[in-house]
Structure 1
Amino acid sequence: MSQDYPLTAHKTIWDFLQAIFAPDQYMLGGNCYLWQRPLVGLHVIRASDQSRNAIAA
């Protein structure tokens, strides 16, 4: 069972917290493999539209 859930193999809470917050558990910024180009494009357009409206106000 510990092979399926590696975090349950820790004996103390400190070991568990170290495993959760270890730097090798996270991807670097900008490396999200779930990004979809059309969705990112929509966010860019929306953010620029909001900026333009804020400047005009």
Structure 2
Amino acid sequence: MEVFIISAWQIWMQHNNFIFNRGSPSSSSWRRCLKDEGRLQAYRISENKRPVFLSWVDSFV
């Protein structure tokens, strides 16, 4: 569930960047932001599930 929420949030942020800042959305910047946000959100995940989540986030480049 966390992965879906983070992914949707980053798509929304790409959309806002395009609309309000005239930025250029790209899949590479979406993946980079998703990876950064995933690392931050990892602190909210229980310690026994955190390594699995972080390994998934790190492999998602």
TM-score (norm 1): 0.31
Whose helix fraction is larger, Structure 1's or Structure 2's?
2
TM-score (norm 2): 0.29
Work out which of the two has the higher radius of gyration on C-alpha atoms and give 1 or 2.
1
RCO higher in structure (CA 8 A, sep ≥6): 2
